[in-house]
Amino acid sequence: MSFLSRFRTRNRPAEEGSPAALVTPEIEPAPSPPAAPAPESAIPAPAEDEALAEAVLDAVERLQSGRAIQGAERIARQFQGTHAVLPLMTALQRLSAKEGPVGKAVAEAIRVAAPTPDQLDRLAEFAKDPSPIVRQYAMWKLGNLGDVATGPLVDGLRDPDDTVRMWAADALGPSSARDLRRAGPLIEALSDPHWLVRSRAARSLARLLVQTTTQAGYGSTVAPSAELVAEAMAALERALDAAKARTSGPGLEASSAMIAARNIAEAMKLITEARQ
């Protein structure tokens, strides 16, 4: 039996056809306590990740380019759960042509795979990879981990690549976020040189402040202080004025500024309504 076959047999999900959902509502009740981590013996070692990455690449490369994405998504669903993300990230890291059909297929597989908190350190390593594409997907998967990933996600706001910073800003504001240490870096990101980073930072900041305001008292959720909210609203107002000033001209910058202005205004509205 091949390595790939043994891995599928050993790690088949308990319920077939029930992939992890990555879309969550804007605001939700405080999360229940996390499930106990998998036994150490059930978590693949780095060497096993490398072997599975080879198997994934081999399987995807055999597909015709027109079916590559569907094939990689099917592979990810077969490896669903605690074992999919790291081997697929390793596979993406090893690809020389990450933007070709195979790279896009592996990236799509990463999109539907669900990480677990015990994979935080490895994903933080991927977030420092020389390839911007690998760093982008590391930010996305770190965002799925919730508050435990605050550190590497905040580091991502200082990445030299605009798209990585945008994904980091977006990942800092999931519906499960309750860590108010994220607020300061998100406020700073409202002055980012790239308009779409400012836009995502505004949206994430609003989610964080609304969720911690409306869910205060649930579990360990703490409401933001009046001083923090005032600082956030002042920064949002400055960002909104700057965006409005750049929406009149032609070109991509004006379009991006218009999107940012709309999202910033909506963020201010949501925060105001949550405090009433």
For 38-52, how does the pLDDT look when each residue is reduced to its tens digit (9 = 90+)? Answer: 333 344 445 666 666
CATH code, 256: 1.25.10.10
Please report whether residue 34 resides in a domain.
no
Q: Is the pLDDT of residue 92 over 60?
A: yes
- Write down the pLDDT at residue 79: 57
Note down the domain range covering 129. 118-276
Considering the domain architecture, whether residues 110 and 122 belong to the same structural domain is answered as: no
Q: Is the pLDDT of residue 102 over 50?
A: yes
Say if residue 74 is exposed, middle or buried (CB neighbours under 10 Å; 0-12, 13-18, 19+). middle
Q: Is the pLDDT of residue 23 over 50?
A: no
Domain tally, the chain: 2
Considering the domain architecture, whether residues 134 and 270 belong to the same structural domain is answered as: yes
Q: In the listed set 92, 114, 136, which residue is the last one of a domain according to the structure?
A: 114
Confidence of residue 120 (pLDDT cuts 50, 70, 90): very high
Say if residue 252 is exposed, middle or buried (CB neighbours under 10 Å; 0-12, 13-18, 19+). exposed
Say if residue 118 is exposed, middle or buried (CB neighbours under 10 Å; 0-12, 13-18, 19+). middle
Considering the domain architecture, whether residues 131 and 15 belong to the same structural domain is answered as: no
Please report whether residue 162 resides in a domain.
yes
Considering the domain architecture, whether residues 99 and 181 belong to the same structural domain is answered as: no
- Write down the pLDDT at residue 41: 34
Q: In the listed set 73, 99, 114, which residue is the last one of a domain according to the structure?
A: 114
Q: Is the pLDDT of residue 193 over 70?
A: yes
Top pLDDT among 43 and 61 is at 61
Considering the domain architecture, whether residues 85 and 199 belong to the same structural domain is answered as: no
Considering the domain architecture, whether residues 137 and 231 belong to the same structural domain is answered as: yes
The dihedral over CA atoms of 73, 79, 81, 83, expressed in degrees to the nearest 10, equals -120
Q: Report helix, strand or coil for 151.
A: helix
Sign of the four-CA dihedral 226, 231, 233, 234: positive
Please report whether residue 32 resides in a domain.
no
Considering the domain architecture, whether residues 110 and 14 belong to the same structural domain is answered as: yes
- The pTM of this model reads 0.75
Q: In the listed set 114, 134, 159, which residue is the last one of a domain according to the structure?
A: 114
The dihedral over CA atoms of 140, 76, 107, 191, expressed in degrees to the nearest 10, equals -10
Please report whether residue 36 resides in a domain.
no
Considering the domain architecture, whether residues 105 and 130 belong to the same structural domain is answered as: no
Top pLDDT among 99 and 152 is at 152
Please report whether residue 21 resides in a domain.
yes
Mean pLDDT across 170-187: 92
- Write down the pLDDT at residue 95: 79
Cα distance between residue 130 and residue 267, in whole Å: 33
Q: Taking all residues of the chain, what is their mean pLDDT, rounded to a whole number?
A: 78
Considering the domain architecture, whether residues 130 and 263 belong to the same structural domain is answered as: yes
Please report whether residue 98 resides in a domain.
yes
Please report whether residue 273 resides in a domain.
yes
Cα distance between residue 53 and residue 163, in whole Å: 25
Average the pLDDT over each of 83-92, 209-218, 236-245 and give the range with the smallest value. Answer: 83-92
Considering the domain architecture, whether residues 145 and 110 belong to the same structural domain is answered as: no
Average the pLDDT over each of 59-68, 101-110, 193-202, 205-214 and give the range with the smallest value. Answer: 59-68
Of residues 225, 227, 261, 230, the one with CA closest to residue 244: 261
Tokens of 64: 């015709």
Please report whether residue 33 resides in a domain.
no
